[in-house]
Chain A
Amino acid sequence: MTKRPNELTIEEVARALRAREFSVRELWDACAEAAQEKNPELNAYLELFEADDAAIAAAQKRIDENDSSLLCGIPLAIKDNILIEGKIASAASQMLSNYRATYDATVIQKLKAAGALFLGRTNMDEFALGGSTENSAFGPTRNPHDTSRVSGGTSGGSAAAVAAHLCIAALGTDTGGSVRNPASFCGVVGLKPTYGGVSRSGIIAAASSFDQVGPLAKTSEDARILYDAIHGHDPMDATSIPDGLYAPRAVGEKLRIGVLKTLVSKEGVDEDVRALFSATLEKLTTLGHTLVDIEIPEVDPALAAYYIINFAEVSTNLARFDGIRYGRAVRGDTLLDDYVRSRSEGFGPETRRRILLGTYVLSSGYIDAYYRKADTARGVLRQAFEKAFDTCDVIATPTMPTPAFKMGEKSDPLAMYLEDIFTVTANLTGMPAISVSMGSVEREGSKLPVGMHFTAPHQAENVLCALGAAVEKA
């Protein structure tokens, strides 16, 4: 049976559009119809946009004139914390449910210039705080492989939309694993670029020293195509970096894959996930890559350090939402009432929790014990990773310690945080990382995908995408 247009990859669609196998309009309709049909069950999209006839016609014209942009005419799903001018951007929060973006994020400007189309805005954990998309103010996103399970998060809507073919590819954001975690749970590819590699102008901030925009796609090659289109220095983002800021390291065809054995053998990592991880590494050695056992004991405090910095930055960033200028505005008797009522009604439970934790770790009596110590641990970790890359080209772990869990299973917030053990290191070090599906494990009759995670030195995204493609073929 031939695949429907919405089931294809960016590469396949770009070729088919140029071979006149279908038009941009037919492609849009296939994606939009699939989204309308499946979204009531999955809740991947918070809003499906009307077709933009002018943009569809313009994309078709460019293709008819043999434009080389691979993203021309490609319908994409965009996470709800990325601004598209004139559209609501709510970060899945009641606080911003009425907020209409006044400008395009830089990544959106770049995608529009490439001729891409936008199907809708996707569900997420409120303000990108969580790991399952259960913290959305508008209901969780369900996993397309088993709707009793979570999609992962925080970019769960984007990952589910890609996995269920409700779009060709999507953008998410990654603060502690928010692109890679749902990529693992939904069986798609998720790339977290080097910190500063992609502009964050027009992205609703969560934790600013970690946040990066990243692609979610059906293949590693598609992820690379999207990354190529959105990355680059931007004067509108003071943290963005030019290409070539970090000296490239010589990498051969055959890679030295560093394996964090001690970390992977820790309690809490699912046995089936571990077995699949070992089997996948084994396959990579048959392709000529070599495995190197590495130890980075500095990883042990990483999760604690990550959360301290996350709380601190979240509480600082979310201080701007006060009910005065935009967003939810509840009025009381006094100005203080206005602030308190707007914030208490606007923020959900996890967001409130992190704001309070951030207020605590930054308070004068505790800042040395928590925030400054976490910052030191982060510096030490980064040095240790840089040193580890003297003996290997990439570092491998599973993306998540478990396959997708059941809705409501991790109601204890700390249990949810512990799922991030493998992903937060890339955010702490600023290094790029990818999750690519390494197969699936069976749970109660459902085949649940599981991701392989690779980290590379700063700005070595090309190595990650090439290795991801090798895993797909292995």
Chain B
Amino acid sequence: MATIEEVKKLAALARIKIADEELEAFTREFDAILAYVGQLEKFDLPAGNAEMPPLRNVMREDGEPQTPRSFTEKIAAQFPAREGDALSVKQIISHD
């Protein structure tokens, strides 16, 4: 059973705010869904494979580089705030 406090904590972790007036209904639906997917416990499944699957490199080989700056303006045009070609963000490290 998820409590309202737990839902608030999950929301904080996910950087989302659930409005106070929505919390009760949200938690109720959340619980119903968890109860449904939690049925998985009833099923007799083989013990999960604790080993990770073998790693393989999924990256493509370097090559055919883009022409420098061919996407710069298109991408920078999406920035909420920019200084030249740079993305402008809040200062997070104080100089004090």
Interface residues in chain A, defined as those with a beta carbon under 8 Å from any beta carbon in chain B? 99-100, 102-103, 235-236, 238-239, 300-301, 304-305, 307-308, 315, 319, 322-327, 329, 334-336, 338-341, 343-344, 347, 352-353, 355-357, 359-361, 363, 368-370, 372-377, 379-380, 412-414, 417
The residue on A at minimum CB distance from B39 is A304
Interchain CA distance A432-B29 in the complex, whole Å: 32
Interface residues in chain B, defined as those with a beta carbon under 8 Å from any beta carbon in chain A? 2, 7, 10-11, 13-18, 26, 29-30, 32-34, 36-41, 43, 45-49, 58-60, 71, 74-75, 77-81, 87, 89-90, 92
| Closest beta carbon of chain A to B24's beta carbon, Å | 14
Are A380 and B32 CB-contacts (below 8 A) given A356-B16, A370-B37?
no
| Closest beta carbon of chain A to B61's beta carbon, Å | 9
Q: Are B71 and A103 in contact (CB under 8 A)?
A: yes
B residues within 8 A CB of A413?
A: 29, 33
20 A–B contacts, CB within 8 A, in A order: A238-B58, A239-B58, A300-B43, A307-B36, A308-B37, A308-B40, A325-B79, A329-B80, A336-B15, A339-B15, A352-B16, A356-B11, A360-B2, A360-B10, A363-B10, A372-B48, A376-B48, A380-B45, A414-B29, A414-B36
Are A304 and B46 CB-contacts (below 8 A) given A335-B90, A356-B7, A356-B16?
no
The residue on B at minimum CB distance from A337 is B90
Interchain CA distance A319-B47 in the complex, whole Å: 30
B residues within 8 A CB of A315?
A: 14
A residues within 8 A CB of B36?
A: 304, 307, 414, 417
Interchain CA distance A343-B15 in the complex, whole Å: 7
The residue on A at minimum CB distance from B43 is A301
Are A376 and B10 CB-contacts (below 8 A) given A102-B71, A352-B16, A353-B30?
no
Main secondary structure of the interface of B (DSSP, over half): loop
For the complex of A and B, 10 pairs with smallest distance between CB atoms: A329-B80, A326-B78, A238-B58, A102-B74, A344-B17, A339-B15, A304-B37, A301-B43, A372-B48, A376-B48
Q: Are B79 and A326 in contact (CB under 8 A)?
A: yes
Q: Are B39 and A301 in contact (CB under 8 A)?
A: yes
The residue on A at minimum CB distance from B61 is A235
Interchain CA distance A236-B58 in the complex, whole Å: 10
B residues within 8 A CB of A379?
A: 49
Question: Which of B26, B33, B36, B41 counts the most A-chain CB atoms under 10 A from its CB?
Answer: B33
Q: Are B39 and A356 in contact (CB under 8 A)?
A: no
